[in-house]
């Protein structure tokens, strides 16, 4: 069995490989093919990945390629973690809106919009390659914006695909660890869109323990349970707690940009670097570290990018599909009536049963009116952004960006859009 990783030069890849090794008794893969368009990053990452695999099982092997079709051909699973435009593109996505007094964030607001314009056409190309060269393969996608990618794959291709995000599983694991129980015993009543959702109820072994969780949040210093070195998570948790204190619903960390827009913008304007610039430095350090580990010839020395659930979610979903497990995961799917009040064709993020048929959405309780209103507006923005990206329509792109709740006016939307087109040379094509 061959598994292809598109975006194999990512600093997340070694952690993903360790996850794939852990499930090899369930999914007997024999080859991992790493594909990336960045030759230098691919060389560094593939070297440490090869050592990790070789030390774990000499019968498995790692191949590398710069050719996407070569990677996809013959694969049973294609794992996608691309970032079109790289981290340099992310930095532009974040910095440009800030010039116009608008939040600059990777996947939310104008930043997520620019990412979508670059990424969605490429994801469609990847899907076409799978249709042609590995039509029975499953695509498991991590590339952002995950919800819009899921919509494109479902509506415009025939491939078998699941598009995922690690925010819900991160909350699930955090709560389980805080209670000292196995992760799989905790289930979430979650509703929303990708990077816009609410954790309404928490279940432990089938029992609703939401009141206990609320008391825990109110009585304990949640921040003390977080690693102090993870400044990003600490700051996100502080903002989430501010929202929780007023709404009494556990929010996705990304809701801070919608609920605390002014406060989030002010904080960004006071920072010396955008998050993208911080991650650039982290990646540079990690790639250098990987090279040193390979030189030392001791893979036990390697350290990951972080977020153990990042790899675990992808490999668990892969195993659930391959072994027809029917396990429950929160993923991005077309609504099809599962979320009352949302359009049939909207892409929502809700609990699903994952088996050999893919992700089958489970009906959820209707969102409250305030949740539904925000979901409907952002879903309309996303649908229009998908149309703009695939049609190359400047007019639709402008209307979509103006519809985004974080953009204050049509004039500002036009200034940001034009700046994106100029800065992302040749990567955003609209007419």
Angle, alpha carbons 120-123-127 (nearest 5°):
140
pLDDT (tens digit, 9 = 90+) per residue, 231-248?
888 899 999 999 999 999
Q: How confident is the model at residue 409 (pLDDT cuts 50, 70, 90)?
A: very high
* CATH code assigned at 141: 3.40.50.720
Number of domains in the chain: 1
Kindly state the average pLDDT of the residues 172-196: 95
For residue 215, what pLDDT is reported? 87
Q: pLDDT above 70 covers what percent of the chain? A: 97
For residue 35, what pLDDT is reported? 98
Neighbours of 298 (CB within 10 A): 11
Annotate 12-22 with b (16+ C-beta within 10 A) or e (fewer): bbbbbbbbbbb
Residue closest to 92 by CA, chosen among 80, 105, 77: 105
CA distance 330 to 170: 11
**Does position 78 have pLDDT exceeding 60, yes or no?**
yes
Q: How confident is the model at residue 327 (pLDDT cuts 50, 70, 90)?
A: very high
**Residue 345 domain-assigned (yes or no):** no
CA neighbours closer than 13 Å in the CB half-sphere of residue 150: 26
For residue 232, what pLDDT is reported? 87
**Does position 42 have pLDDT exceeding 60, yes or no?**
yes
Q: Which residues pair with 355 in a beta bridge?
A: 358
**Residue 334 domain-assigned (yes or no):** no
Q: How confident is the model at residue 172 (pLDDT cuts 50, 70, 90)?
A: very high
For residue 224, what pLDDT is reported? 81
* Mean pLDDT lowest among 12-16, 72-76, 414-418: 12-16
Residue 180's Cα: distance from chain center in Å?
26
CA distance 24 to 28: 5
**Residue 395 domain-assigned (yes or no):** no
| Given 142, 190, 254, 257, the catalytic residue | 254
For residue 321, what pLDDT is reported? 98
For residue 392, what pLDDT is reported? 98
Average pLDDT along the chain: 94
Kindly state the average pLDDT of the residues 167-183: 93
Q: How confident is the model at residue 58 (pLDDT cuts 50, 70, 90)?
A: confident
**Residue 131 domain-assigned (yes or no):** yes
The contacts of residue 28 (CB under 8 Å, 6+ apart) are 1
**Does position 305 have pLDDT exceeding 60, yes or no?**
no
CB contact at 8 A, 156 and 124: yes
**Does position 228 have pLDDT exceeding 80, yes or no?**
no
Residue closest to 387 by CA, chosen among 104, 156, 142, 161: 156
* Mean pLDDT lowest among 72-81, 124-133, 187-196, 232-241: 232-241
Q: Which residues pair with 139 in a beta bridge?
A: 78, 161
For residue 176, what pLDDT is reported? 93
| Phi-psi category of residue 148: left, alpha or beta, with phi > 0 → left and psi -120 to 50 → alpha | alpha
Instruction: Tell me how far apart the terminal alpha carbons of the chain are, to the nearest angstrom.
Output: 43
**Residue 359 domain-assigned (yes or no):** no
For residue 11, what pLDDT is reported? 92
For residue 6, what pLDDT is reported? 98
For residue 216, what pLDDT is reported? 83
Q: Read off the tokens for 236.
A: 């996100």
**Residue 127 domain-assigned (yes or no):** yes
Q: What is the DSSP string of 300-311?
A: GG---SS-HHHH
In the block, which residue shows the tokens 């989430």?
240
Whether 254 is a known active-site residue: answer yes
For residue 223, what pLDDT is reported? 79
pLDDT (tens digit, 9 = 90+) per residue, 113-124?
999 999 999 999
Bond before 135 cis per omega within 30 degrees: no
Q: What is the DSSP string of 301-338?
A: G---SS-HHHHHHHHHHHHHHHTT--EEEEEEEE-TTS
For residue 304, what pLDDT is reported? 64
Radius of gyration of the chain (CA): 21
Residue closest to 148 by CA, chosen among 116, 121, 126, 124: 116
CB contact at 8 A, 428 and 118: yes
For residue 122, what are the domain limits?
Answer: 2-164+279-320
CA distance 155 to 350: 18
**Residue 8 domain-assigned (yes or no):** yes
CB contact at 8 A, 150 and 332: yes
pLDDT (tens digit, 9 = 90+) per residue, 99-118?
999 999 999 999 999 999 99
**Residue 225 domain-assigned (yes or no):** no
Q: What is the DSSP string of 212-251?
A: HHHHHHHHS-GGGGS-TT-HHHHHHHHHHHHHHHHH-SEE
Q: How confident is the model at residue 221 (pLDDT cuts 50, 70, 90)?
A: confident
CA distance 359 to 346: 16
**SS3 of residue 5 by DSSP:** strand
């Amino acid at each position: 069995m061959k598994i292809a990783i598109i975006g194999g030069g990512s600093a997340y890849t070694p952690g993903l490989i360790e996850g794939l090794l852990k499930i090899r008794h369930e999914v007997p893969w024999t080859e991992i093919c790493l594909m990336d368009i960045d030759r230098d990053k691919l060389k560094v990452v593939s070297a440490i990945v090869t050592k990790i695999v070789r030390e774990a099982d000499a019968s498995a092997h790692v191949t590398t390629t710069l050719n996407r079709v070569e990677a996809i051909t013959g694969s049973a699973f294609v794992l996608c973690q691309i970032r079109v435009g790289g981290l340099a593109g992310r930095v532009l996505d974040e910095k440009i809106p800030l010039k116009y007094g608008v939040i600059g964030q990777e996947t939310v607001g104008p930043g997520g919009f620019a990412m979508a314009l670059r990424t969605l056409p490429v994801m469609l190309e990847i899907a076409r390659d799978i249709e042609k060269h590995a039509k029975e393969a499953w695509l498991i996608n991590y590339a952002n914006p995950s919800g819009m990618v899921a919509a494109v794959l479902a509506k415009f291709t025939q491939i078998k695909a699941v598009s995922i995000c690690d925010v819900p599983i991160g909350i699930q694991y955090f709560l389980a660890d805080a209670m000292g129980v196995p992760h799989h015993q905790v289930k979430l009543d979650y509703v929303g869109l990708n990077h816009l959702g609410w954790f309404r109820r928490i279940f432990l072994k089938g029992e609703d323990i939401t009141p206990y969780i609320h008391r825990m949040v109110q009585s304990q210093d949640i921040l003390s349970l977080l690693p102090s070195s993870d400044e990003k998570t600490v700051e996100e948790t502080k903002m989430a707690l501010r929202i929780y204190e007023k709404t009494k619903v556990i929010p996705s960390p990304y809701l801070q940009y919608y609920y605390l827009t002014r406060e989030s913008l002010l904080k960004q304007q006071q920072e010396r670097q955008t998050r993208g610039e911080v991650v650039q430095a982290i990646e540079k350090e990690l790639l250098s570290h990987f090279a040193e580990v390979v030189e030392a010839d001791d893979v036990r020395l390697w350290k990951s990018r972080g977020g153990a659930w990042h790899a675990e979610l992808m490999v668990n979903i892969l195993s659930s599909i391959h072994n027809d497990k029917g396990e429950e995961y929160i993923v991005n799917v077309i609504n099809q009536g599962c979320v009352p009040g949302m359009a049939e064709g909207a892409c929502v993020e809700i609990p699903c049963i994952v088996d050999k048929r893919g992700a089958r959405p489970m009906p959820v309780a209707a969102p409250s009116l305030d949740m539904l209103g925000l979901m409907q507006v952002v879903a309309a923005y996303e649908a229009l952004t998908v149309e703009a990206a695939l049609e190359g329509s400047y007019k639709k792109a402008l209307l979509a960006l103006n519809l985004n709740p974080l953009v204050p006016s049509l004039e500002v939307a036009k200034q940001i859009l034009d700046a994106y087109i100029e800065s992302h040379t040749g990567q955003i094509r609209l007419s």
